Every structure is written in C-alpha cells, then in structure tokens.
Amino acid sequence: MNDIFERAQAIVSDAERVTQAHLRTVALPGVTIGLITLDNGEDHTKPNTFGPAGLLSLNTAIDAALADDSIDAIAVTGKPFILAAGADLTSIQGGGPDAVRIVAELGHAVFRKLREGGKPSFGFINGLALGGGLEVALHSTYRTVMDSAPALGLPEVMLGLVPGWGGAWLVPNLVGADKAVTLILENPLNQGRTLGGRAAYDFGLADAVFGGADYLEQSLLWAASVVRGDVVVERAEVDRDAWDAAIARAEGIVAAKTGGGSPAARKAVELIAAARDSDRDTGFAAEDLALHALSQTAELLASLYSFDLVQKRAKRPAGAPDTSLARPVTKVGIVGAGLMASQLALLFVRRLEVPVVLTDLDQERADKGVAYVHAEIDKLLAKGRINQDKANRHKALVSGATDKQVAFGDADFVIEAVFEEMSVKKTVFADVEKVVSAECVLATNTSSLSITEMAADLEHPERVVGFHFFNPVAVMPLLEIVRGDATDDATLATAFATGKTLKKTSILVKDSPSFIVNRLLGRFMSEVGRIVDEGTPVQVADNAFAGIAPMPPFVLLSLVGPAIALHNNETLKGAFPDRFYVSPALERIVAAKKAAYYGPDGALDPEVEALLEKPSDPVVLTAEEVRAKTLAGLAEEARLMLDEGVVAAPQDIDLAMITGAGFSFWNGGLTFMLDVAGISEQATGKRFH
C-alpha cells in the first residue's frame, strides 16, 4: 500500500491547483468530530479538484484524524458551495502514461480509509459534487446533502472514462443497479445531466437532507446523534433480482446514445453488471484496470481536448476586444414578450440583477411575459435554488410595457426576440433607435439573418451586434456573438462582458449565414434530407448517427420544429445554392403543420410517412453509408467556414458544437472526431488539427 503513495508523490505536478484538506476538531455533546474541509484557496467559480497532491493532502488529514484518540468520528466537506468537481485532469494528463493508473489506485487507497479506518465517517455534500467529489462522500459511512446543492453526479462516461474511485461498485450496491445505470450512464449521456441536492436525497445517495445557511451545523448535530445512537440510519435492501433488467436497459441506452462507439460506456455496463456479485476489493481493482485501459483510447484524448476547450478557451474567447472597452449595463430592454423573450428576461434578471423591461404590441402580451418570469422564479424558490428575498427582488426588477420610449429611454442594452424576418427586425431596430441613448447596444437574437443588413439603414449601425442564444436559454451554454461589418469594439466588448456575466460560453463569429451551429446543423439536415428524399428510410438515417449527434436527425428536427429547420435551410440554400438542399418533403410537412416526424409511441407518424413520397427509382443507403456521406459534407462545410473566417480556429467550431448542439465530449466535438475517423483528409485533403 505504501508503494502507491510513493508513486503518487513522484507524479505530483506544478500544474495542479492543489486542494488542501484542513482538519479541525468540533466538540459536540458526547461526541468529538474531526471535520476535514477541502479548499483549493479559490472562490466558488474554481471548484476543488483532486490531483495527486490533493489526494495526498486528504490522506494526511484522514490519517491524523484516525490517529487522534480524542476524535470519535470523521466528516469531510468542502469550501462554500463546493465539495469537489472530481479529478484534476490537467495535472493527471501531464503525469505520463502511468498517471491515470496511479491516480486511480491512489484515490481508492485514500477514500477507502473513510470506510475502513475504524471510525464512523460522514460525507457532508455542501454543494457541487461530481465524479470523485461524489465518490469521496460515497466512501463515507453516512452522508448528508444540502437541499440546494446544484449538481451531483458521476459524469465520467461523458469524458471517455468510468467512475474510477469506487463509484462503479459503490453506487449499485447502495441504490441498486437500475439507479446506478441512471447515474453512471443515462445522465452523463444526456449531455451531462446531474441531480440537485433534494433529488439526490430522494435517489438514495444521502441519508439526510438539510437546507439553509446552517447546513453544516445541522449536519454536525445529526452526525453526533448518529454516533451517540440517538438516530439509527436505515436503508432499503438492494434488489439483486432486478440486476439483469437494469443491465438490459443499460445496453439499450449505450446502443441508442453511442452506437457502440464509446469504450467507456461499454466498460461502465460491465462494471455495474459485475458489482452484483463481486466484493469491494474486486470491484475497485476492476475500476483501476478499466481506467488504465481507457486512458489509452482516442476517446480519452478527445475528452481531454474537449475539457480544455470548455475550461480554458471558453473563458478567453478568441478575437474578443479588450474588456476595458465594455460599457456598464444597468438596464435591459427586450423587444417581444413571447417564450424566447421571456426566457431571456429571466436569464438577464437572474444574472445581471438589473431592471429588465419586456415590450410587446399590447399590455396583455407584455404582462403574460412578465407572468412567465414570475412563475419561473417561484419554481426556483420552491426548489430552494433561491431564497424569498432574492425572489422578491428579481420579480420587482421585471416589468412589461408597450411604450418603447418610456421603457427603453434609459436602457444600456436592448435585445430583440421577434419573428425571424429581416423586414420585421429592421423595423424594430429603426423604432428602438429613435428612443434609446447614443451608446445603447442593440442586440439581435437572430439565428441566421445578416447583422450587417439588419443595421444598414440605422443612423448608428456600429452599435448593432448578434447575440444568439440556444434553446432552452437557461440550459444551453453557448452564446454566438456576431460582429457585423459596422459593429465597433465598444459594442462588441460590452456584448462579451454581458455574456460573461450571463455565465454563457461566448464565441466571436463573423457575420455569415446561420453563423456556426445552425450552418453546420443545416448542412447536416440538408445531406440527410436529400438522402431520405432519394429513398433511404427515415429510420435508417436516424440510426446512422448514434454516438455522433446528440440525437437522431429527425428527432432533432422535431425538437427544433420543422418550420424553423426549413427556414434555416432556405436561408442557407439562398446563400450557398451549390451545397445546400431544401427538401420538398420537409416543405410538405411544414405545409401540413406537422410538428414532429414521430408519434407519441415512438413510431414514424403515418401522415408524415405519406408526405415523404418515395421516388420510383429509390437509392437506399445503409446506415454506414448515410453516416459517411453526411460527415463528409460536414467536413467540407467546416473547412469552408474556416477558410471564410467565420471563426478563428477549429477549436471554436468544436466548442460551439459541444456547448450549442450537444455533441459529445468523448468525440471532441466535430472536427476532432472527423480527424480521428480519417474523414477530414478524405473530404478536404487535410486534417483540421
């Protein structure tokens, strides 16, 4: 055992932001608890993580608590709002080929002391707890969770790994195989879905849930009552007869979401299956072997690349002007009060905490938008995400009006969210420009139209900028910031500063049809639409992209809306007639007002099928041929976008497709995946990276 600590010391890296484990004693009636607090010395925006040095620090603190005879029990918690966000991938990446295996064994060796050290242990999950951050709590004898904790989960499969510090064995043996499948496979493969604190308690991951500013005090008192025997923790027996059904469900999820293309997902299924009958030592050893094997895969390299994009490039957007040029935003105006406008209002008021006013053609519509925002704030309050004081303040900041002069006269930032038609948007901006200050930014949430054309007739076109969000606004991280030909640096800097405050991943985009994500998705749907129109069944086309796109293309089209997808492809066909295709079948489906290709039962809607009108001489491709042909089209489009300067680098395309379209970490987004598959060179003559 000592050997693993010596090997870990040898790979300690200067790149690691070390999370120190601080031990102090807390005297409670009849019980003294050794409280270990994890803290990397940064604020809550930089979560605790575990690299070799951090794990060694925790080991020292646990050993000290175990050796102190005055300490009756051990508890582990984190700095405010954060327990830990898992492994420090940056530091591990620099540790050489054996680093993953060493850190896997080290995590097991340290964490298991909490369960096997001879004293009761408690995990106090006081905030975000992902990967190893959750696993350190799972190793504890008992757990409490803060009801407002924002994110608990085991996201490793999304990163091309598996839970490797005990999670793959501990979770199924704590809550059962079916819930383990949800936590370890289903949630990560659904774009990294996590559990909130209350949901984690209901899930069975914690034995008690507390809220409020005194969460830690309540947890300590509860722990003392458990140690004294005043409280007896009871857990439901795990149903081992349900294991086979859970594994069958897991295999179905892996097939649907990855097409068998994720070694990590397949390995996770194996580990959950084996956890039914294996002991802890065998389970942990299997995790070590799995992590070592996965560390040699292209998927892990892609995941580390993706991780670097979202952790570093996303925080320093390429081409963004100097932040000193940004002007303050003290009031926001929104033109429109429909669903998108109301979602924007909610986001702006929660993040900027400044007055936000919605305008529409009549007061009833404006009031409906305000009511939506108020209702969403009430939901956040009910879930414990905000307190009553903040809910009251946020509600008071949102208002609705019909008179733009009164509403926008003192606004610093006005964004339109009206019908996607150039003439409508030009009229809106012409009206707004008459009533706002000379320095007010005019932002458009257009998904495809030209910013330059939209601003062309204004007196001050330099203050117009594209500010394109993705739906749902509260969930999707991407914000495409589009510079028109006349947009000046002050406007652009203000847009980037605002995007940062909104906690969005902002990417600078040249004014071009449909920008990044919608242009690539447009090419994607253009290729697939042509293939289906030529005779390949919809189901074959949909099955071709498991493990590549976040969902099958015609499921995605139904989610976006056939009319919106058609409008996007018509825009792109107008701009690039040689490459983009407008499907006559899609035109018929939109004319028939069909909202989706599939019915509630998951089968292709017979009315939609009738509108497809198969050709007399159909060309039927296999799923593999559909995939190859479509990806070649995407490679061509991505290369052209780079040649045109739509974005600065391939990394921006990948960052956009990960954060705006849900492409997977373990593929590296789009261009990295195309390189690995050899499609880049086949389609364009060279690699992207």
**Enzyme catalytic residues:** 135, 156
**How far is CA 496 from each of CA 346, 362, 506, 523, rounded to the nearest angstrom?**
19, 32, 7, 28
**How far is CA 254 from each of CA 186, 192, 247, 451, 559, rounded to the nearest angstrom?**
8, 15, 10, 41, 21
C-beta atoms surrounding 370 within 10 Å: 20
Residues 6+ apart with CB under 8 A from 177: 242, 243, 246, 247, 272, 273, 275, 276
Whether 120 and 109 have beta carbons less than 8 Å apart is answered as no
**How far is CA 132 from each of CA 101, 107, 108, 325, rounded to the nearest angstrom?**
15, 8, 10, 40
Q: Which of 5, 274, 228, 227 is nearest to 113 (CA)?
A: 5
> Tokens 């001489």 appear where?
617
Whether 79 and 43 have beta carbons less than 8 Å apart is answered as no
Q: Is 645 helix (H, G, I), strand (E, B) or coil?
A: coil
Residues 6+ apart with CB under 8 A from 665: 158, 159, 160, 302, 303, 306, 307, 658
Whether 618 and 534 have beta carbons less than 8 Å apart is answered as yes
Question: Could you give the count of Cα atoms lying within 13 Å of 515 in the half-sphere of its Cβ?
Answer: 30
State the amino acid at position 359 in one-letter form.
T
Q: Is 146 helix (H, G, I), strand (E, B) or coil?
A: strand
Q: Is 530 helix (H, G, I), strand (E, B) or coil?
A: helix
Q: Which of 490, 686, 450 is nearest to 575 (CA)?
A: 450
How far, in Å, CA of 12 to CA of 553, rounded? Answer: 45
- The sign one gets for the Cα dihedral 635, 667, 46, 100 is negative
How far, in Å, CA of 86 to CA of 128, rounded? Answer: 10
